[in-house]
């Protein structure tokens, strides 16, 4: 299930860590719509989430810790493999819109929901699919010896195998299937430094191809790819 939400900002700017605000909105929406769903995903521990989202910003200009925009309209795209979860989020947003409840942002800014639409999905039916990123994806490699995370880019020789390993773990945990997916870069960025929760992580955008079982590729299309998908990374569009 895919949703497209258009928000109006009070001021045409956002904090550089704007993903945190949208994640907060998401969590608040789940809590209002279904405390059970909220507790399942955020009540304790760090369970893997079956959704992703991406934010489209009009002509962003980055200066220090602020993003200045050409207009006040921004778009939030949300995708999940669970229809019920999408409906909870949708209903909570509609309730907020009906009660004219703007969502507070940093520096005295706020955003109000203008409209929300259900988007048509493109089911994956073949063993190969080409995807384009709607938000940067993160390839995280965890080093157990010092409990540190490294975010890889395409110049690292471990990039491709780590993408495949991340997908394997996600599919096994969320889909309960043991499947191997082959990742092939088509046109990918060199790496984009992104400030997130006080640190900089390297993200990747562009186009790539996945090869595997059609049901698994369709699942990746719906829940995204890479690490920290539920924090605004890894959303995909089928090319």
Q: What distance in Å separates the CA atoms of residue 233 and residue 236, rounded to the nearest whole number?
A: 9
Question: Model's pTM, two decimal places?
Answer: 0.94
The confidence score (pLDDT) of residue 34 equals 86
Nearest in space to 201 (alpha carbons), one of 14, 15, 27, 16: 16
The confidence score (pLDDT) of residue 204 equals 98
Q: Write b or e for each residue in 208-229: b if 16 or more Cβ atoms lie within 10 A of its Cβ, otherwise e.
A: bebebeeebbbbbbbbbbbbbb
Q: What distance in Å separates the CA atoms of residue 34 and residue 37, rounded to the nearest whole number?
A: 5
Which backbone phi and psi does 31 adopt, to 5 degrees? -65, -40
- pLDDT tens by residue, 70-118: 999 999 999 999 999 999 899 888 888 887 788 999 999 999 999 999 9
The confidence score (pLDDT) of residue 179 equals 93
> Using H for helix, E for strand and C for coil, what is the string for the chain?
CEEEEEEEECCCEEECCHHHHHHHHHHHHHHHHCHHHHHHHHCCCCCCCCEEEEEECCCCEEECCEEECCCCEEEEEEEECCHHHHHHHHHHHHHHHHCCCCEECHHHCEEEEEEEEEECCCCCCCCEEEEEECCCEEEEEEECCCCEEEEECCCCCCHHHHHHHHHHHHHHHHHCCCCCCEEEEEEECCCEEEEECCEEEEEECEEEEEECCHHHHHHHHHHCCCECHHHCCCCEEEC
Q: Dihedral, CA atoms, 122, 129, 233, 206, nearest 10 degrees? A: -120
**Domain 2-119 part of CATH 3.40.190.10:** no
Q: Dihedral, CA atoms, 46, 52, 56, 61, nearest 10 degrees? A: 30
The confidence score (pLDDT) of residue 96 equals 80
What residue ranges do the domains of the chain occupy?
A: 2-119, 128-238
Which architecture does CATH list for 128-238? 2-Layer Sandwich (3.30)
Residues of the chain with pLDDT below 50 are: none
């Amino acid at each position: 299930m895919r949703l497209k939400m258009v928000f109006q900002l009070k001021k045409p700017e956002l904090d550089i860590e704007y993903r945190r605000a949208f994640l907060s909105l998401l969590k608040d929406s789940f809590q209002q719509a279904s405390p059970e769903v909220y507790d399942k995903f955020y009540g304790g521990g760090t369970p893997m989430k079956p959704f992703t989202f991406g934010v489209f910003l009009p002509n962003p200009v980055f200066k220090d810790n602020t993003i200045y925009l050409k207009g006040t309209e921004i778009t939030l795209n949300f995708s999940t493999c669970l229809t019920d979860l999408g409906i909870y989020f949708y209903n909570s947003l509609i309730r907020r819109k009906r009660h004219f409840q703007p969502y507070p942002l940093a520096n005295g800014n706020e955003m109000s929901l203008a409209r929300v639409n259900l988007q048509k999905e493109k089911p994956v039916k073949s063993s190969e699919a080409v995807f384009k990123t709607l938000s940067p994806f993160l390839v995280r490699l965890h080093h157990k010896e010092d409990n540190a995370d490294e975010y890889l880019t395409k110049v690292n020789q471990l990039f491709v195998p780590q993408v495949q390993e991340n997908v394997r773990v996600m599919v096994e945990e969320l889909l309960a299937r043991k499947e191997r997916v082959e990742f092939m870069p088509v046109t990918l960025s060199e790496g984009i430094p992104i400030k997130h929760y006080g640190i900089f992580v390297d993200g990747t955008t562009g186009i790539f191809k996945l090869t595997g079982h059609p049901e698994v590729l369709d699942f990746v299309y719906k829940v995204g790819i890479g690490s920290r998908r539920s924090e605004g990374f890894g959303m995909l569009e089928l090319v």
